[in-house]
Amino acid sequence: MDPIDRKILAHLQADASMSIADIADKVGLSQTPCWKRIQKMEAAGVIKGRVALLSGKKLNLGLTVFVQLRTKQHDDVWLAKFARAVSEMPEVVEVYRMAGDIDYLLRVVVRDTEAYDRFYKTLIKKVPLHDVSSSFAMEEIKYTTALPIDVERAA
């Protein structure tokens, strides 16, 4: 990836609805070469998709819960069952397998504590867990989906 590709990515992360003409103008290319670069980055999997970012609060989904899970089972069968279970639960918006004291970290978005309780009960029915610890976010201080594009290399 060269500096122009990085600039294109930075603009797309800031506003994926920008027209090709606007992006091309901002990075100093004509439209066709700019579009070809974007297509190439999509084909290579650098650009995984373009989405609209929604407001959870405006959609009455104002509670974010970070769920730390520990399991006593670490085999492929358990992992497949767990992955399938969390993939089927729309409240789970992120899942990470961790190193350290916890095995998995989930970010769960729900309406309120009652909705989280229903989610929790469903989760523990679907997959055996050793320990579940939930932390409720009190305030969102920073949230972004933008990756830190190396601005120095893009200049």
Q: Residues of the chain with pLDDT > 70: what percent?
A: 97
**Shared domain check, 16 and 70:** no
**Shared domain check, 93 and 37:** no
pLDDT band at 31 (very low <50, low <70, confident <90, very high): very high
Residue 20: pLDDT above 90? yes
**Shared domain check, 132 and 81:** yes
Question: What DSSP assignment string belongs to 89-104?
Answer: -TTEEEEEE-SSS-SE
Nearest in space to 146 (alpha carbons), one of 2, 4, 15: 15
Structural domain includes residue 151:
no
Structural domain includes residue 48:
yes
**Shared domain check, 76 and 36:** no
| Per-residue pLDDT, 154 | 47
Structural domain includes residue 152:
no
Residue 153: pLDDT above 90? no
User: Number of structural domains, the chain?
Assistant: 2
Residue 42 structural domain:
3-52
DSSP letter, residue 54: P
